[in-house]
Amino acid sequence: MKNRENEVAKQLANIFNKIADALEFKSEIPFKIIAYRKAARVLNDLTEDIEVLWEENKLRTIPGVGEGIAKKIDEYLKTGKMRKYEEALKNIPSGLLSLLNIQSMGPKTLRLAHNKLGVNSKGDLEKVIEDGSLAKLPNMGERKVENIKKGLKIFSAQEKRISIGVALPLVENVINWIKKGAVAAPISSERIEPAGSLRRMKETIGDIDILCTPTYHLSGRGKNGTKIIEHFTNFPETSRILAKGETKGSIIVNQRYQIDLRVVKEECFGAALQYFTGSKSHNIKLRSIAKEKGLKISEYGVFDGAKKIAGEKEEEVYSILGLPYIPPELREDRGEIELKTIPELINYGDIKGDLHIHSRYSDGQNSIKEIAEFAKNMDYEYIAITEHSKSAKYAGGIDEKILEQEIEEIEQVEKECGIRIFKGIELEILNPLANGLDFDDKILEKLDIVIGAVHTSSKKDMTEAICAACCNSNVDIIAHPTGRLISRREGYKIDISKVIEKAASTNTALEINAYYDRLDLSDINARKAKENGVKIVINSDAHSTVMLKSMRFGIGVARRAWLSKGDILNTLSVEELEDWFKNHKR
């Protein structure tokens, strides 16, 4: 039996990453660090159950796991401990290594700040920035400190928010846990749903809210709410219980994530769901509309004087105000309340294929065949294999010769698996000085799909280079157009409005990259692109088969951007898409 989302493999990945951080901090040989990081990455995305592999003595079949790491995994699975981990973290204050996540703060700088200035925490770091002592260290200066300060700002802003990619699976686990503790109630229609920014599919989430009705009760006697909440607070990964009552429970999970559960009566569930979903400004506007009509909205329902006139279903709350039902992803007070008709948003089942996937040929984890089979199981009609091109050396970029070999393999697998596999490349857009694209047109013409992409973190303005790529008749899509990483860095320097205009005039599609730390384009930019008539494509940018599942985060962004099925390239059928590839730049 597969354990929950391969929890143990993820724990191990986390441990190996921390070891790598610690070794980096101690300036160990880089190759060891790389090896730990690789093992961590592979374990994090592992599809097989790690404990099964362990029992069958097959740990070493995992790529990146050799004798040393296999031994450490074995030790951990046997004893729940790992000596190497404890040893690596010895003498390093807890919390210090997390500062490595600050942009421009690498292991060398951190060590220097720690050794010379006694920096042990974020607070210490802020202090030595302010009093100027950090800038006085060797090889440091005003500008470096300024960059760290900026990095710190992003780090602080994101520190308390949870990425949707972490929050959603976590909530699903918690909901399953609550359901598992429930006994089918005599009344049907028991309900449990996440609310808040998570339900609105925001890219980052503050606290996680879950609502349920008391019909989710445990066997035994006692008040329903109390029982449910008692069970909720026993969630295995709970590190602290903040509150535990009859209608509300609140826990901290894994030392970091706050989750609230509210138990609300069946007849109020719709109103409560609406209320707790927000956003705040959306709700304020609804309340003012209600007021004009002489009504009052609260989490308990819609009231005409003392009389409750709606509340069981969320739809009622809107209809009673004379509004169409507004999907959660639109509730940001960005004009959705004023709409006469709500756009038909793309649905989670509308995507027919994934057009940006890496296999083992570059830095992906799986073979083309594994990817094809997985995609077929997801009911996709097609996929595209798009490795990094040769200049992306750090990501195992491939040259023309290997690309030709890969094309042959793709054709072979396509025959075997019966799913259309487009032959593609994620083509490096070189920085302005290096001029142009990574491959010449001759080879690009052989491919079905060319995705132009920038990866280098150059501070040069990339607008012109990307616009030039749009003008190339072989380039179909621009991947992750701004290059931001939500938790770590702003994008590269780019005038996104210009890129959108150029994409529109050249019929180049722009990507919503569904990887949860990118979600790039953002909902705001994607909406701008739509308004300019740009085609959007939602891609997973998967480096492993598991990552193919992250498509839903991209669809969330698309919904928040008011996109419909018709705006999105990979809702087309195979034939329509082939047609598009052939003709969009003619």
Partner DNA sequence: GCCGTTTTCGGCCCGACTGTTTTCAGTCG
Strand ranges (E), 336-490: 353-357, 382-388, 420-428, 449-453, 477-478
Rounded CA-CA distance 16/28 in Å is 14
Least distance from C-beta 354 to DNA, angstroms? Answer: 21
Does 415 interact with DNA (rule: CB under 7 A)?
no
Fill in the per-residue mask, 144 to 163: x = in contact with DNA (CB under 7 A), - = not in contact: xx-x---x------------
What is the biggest distance separating any 2 CA atoms in the chain, rounded to whole angstroms?
76
Candidates 80, 123, 138, 294; binder of DNA (CB under 7 A) is 138
Burial label for 88, CB within 10 Å (0-12, 13-18, 19+), is buried
User: Does residue 363 sit in helix, strand or coil?
Assistant: coil
CA dist 179 and 181 (Å) reads 5
Q: Does 31 bind DNA (CB under 7 A)?
A: yes
105 belongs to the binding site for DNA (CB under 7 A)? yes
Which residues in 15-46 are b (16+ Cβ under 10 Å) and which e?
A: bbbbbbbbbbbeebeeeebebbbbbbbbbbbb
Q: Please state the closest distance from residue 112 (CB atom) to DNA, in A.
A: 7
Residue 200 near residue 277 (C-beta atoms within 8 A): yes
Listed ranges 60-68, 117-125, 371-379, 464-472: which one lies at the site for DNA (CB under 7 A)? 60-68
Describe the chain by its helix, strand, coil percentages, rounded to 5. Answer: 45, 15, 35
User: By rule CB under 7 A, what string of x and - marks binding of each residue 295-314 to DNA?
Assistant: --------------------
Task: Give the CA-trace dihedral at 47, 53, 54, 55, to 10 degrees.
Answer: 130
User: Would you say 287 or 489 has its CB closer to DNA?
Assistant: 489
Residue 90 binds DNA, judged by CB under 7 A: no
Looking at the Cβ atoms of 190 and 461, the one nearer to DNA is: 461
Site map 255..284 versus DNA, x via CB under 7 A: ------------------------------
For DNA, how many residues bind (rule: CB under 7 A)?
A: 54
Q: Does 132 bind DNA (CB under 7 A)?
A: no
Q: How far is the CB of 146 from DNA (least distance, A)?
A: 7
Is 32 near DNA (CB under 7 A)?
A: yes
From 4, 58, 60, 179, residue interacting with DNA (rule: CB under 7 A)? 60
Judged by CB under 7 A, the stretch of 179-187, 241-249, 310-318, 453-461 that binds DNA is: 453-461
Q: Which of 84, 352 has the CB closer to DNA?
A: 84
CB of 374 to DNA, least distance (A): 22
Contact between 97 and DNA per CB under 7 A: no
For residue 521, say if its preceding peptide bond is cis, omega within 30 degrees of 0: yes
Closest distance of CB 493 from DNA, Å? 9
Cα 39 from Cα 513, distance rounded (Å): 25
Q: Which is nearer to DNA, 73 or 302 (CB)?
A: 73
Q: Report the residue number, 219 or 435, with the smaller CB distance to DNA.
A: 435
For residue 367, whether the previous peptide bond is cis, meaning omega lies within 30 degrees of 0, is no
List phi, psi (to 5°) of 459. Answer: -90, 0
552 binds DNA (CB under 7 A): no
- C-alpha 178/C-alpha 218 separation (Å) is 9
Q: Which residue, 141 or 169, has its beta carbon nearer to DNA? A: 141
Of the two residues 125 and 310, which places its CB atom closer to DNA in the complex? 125
> Site for DNA (CB under 7 A): which residue of 180, 221, 393, 415?
393
Q: Quickly count: other Cβ atoms within 10 Å of residue 389's Cβ.
A: 28
CA angle 452, 101, 487 (to 5 degrees): 50
Query: What type of residue sits at position 257?
Result: Y
Stretch that binds DNA, among 109-117, 175-183, 367-375, 506-514 (CB under 7 A): 109-117
Under rule CB under 7 A, residue 436 binds DNA: no
CB 245 within 8 A of CB 228: no
How near is the Cβ of 154 to DNA at its closest, in Å? 11
| Position among 110, 119, 419, 542 found at the interface with DNA (CB under 7 A) | 110
Residue ranges in 106-221 assigned as alpha helix (H):
107-117, 122-130, 142-159, 164-181, 196-199
**In the complex, what is the shortest distance from the CB of residue 525 to DNA, in angstroms, rounded to a whole number?**
19
Among 67, 292, 338, 344, interactor with DNA by CB under 7 A? 67
Q: Which is nearer to DNA, 388 or 535 (CB)?
A: 388
Task: Between 107 and 270, name the residue whose CB sits nearer to DNA.
Answer: 107
| DSSP H helical ranges for 334-387 | 368-377
Pairing of strands 382-388, 353-357: parallel
Q: Which of 39, 125, 355, 509 binds DNA (CB under 7 A)?
A: 39
Q: Is 143 in the site for DNA (CB under 7 A)?
A: yes
Nearest distance in Å: CB 24, DNA: 8
CB of 136 to DNA, least distance (A): 9
Distance CA 462, CA 454 (A): 8
Q: Report the alpha-carbon distance of residue 429 to residue 432 in Å, rounded.
A: 9
What character string, x for contact with DNA (CB under 7 A) and - otherwise, covers 345-384? ----------------------------------------
Contacts of 113 (CB under 8 A, 6+ apart): 119, 125, 128, 134, 137
Decide: is 103 part of the binding site for DNA (CB under 7 A).
yes
Residues 465-494 that bind DNA (CB under 7 A): 485, 488-489
Contact 354, 551 (CB under 8 A): yes
Q: How far is the CB of 465 from DNA (least distance, A)?
A: 11
Nearest Cα neighbor of 569 from 375, 368, 381 is 381
Q: What residues form DSSP beta bridges with 449?
A: 424
State the nearest-atom distance from the C-beta of 92 to DNA, in Å.
Answer: 16
Which region holds residue 62: left if phi is over 0, alpha if psi is between -120 and 50, else beta?
Answer: beta
* Binding stretches for DNA (CB under 7 A): 29-36, 38-39, 60, 63-70, 84, 103-110, 112, 138-145, 147, 151, 393-395, 431, 433-434, 455-460, 485, 488-489
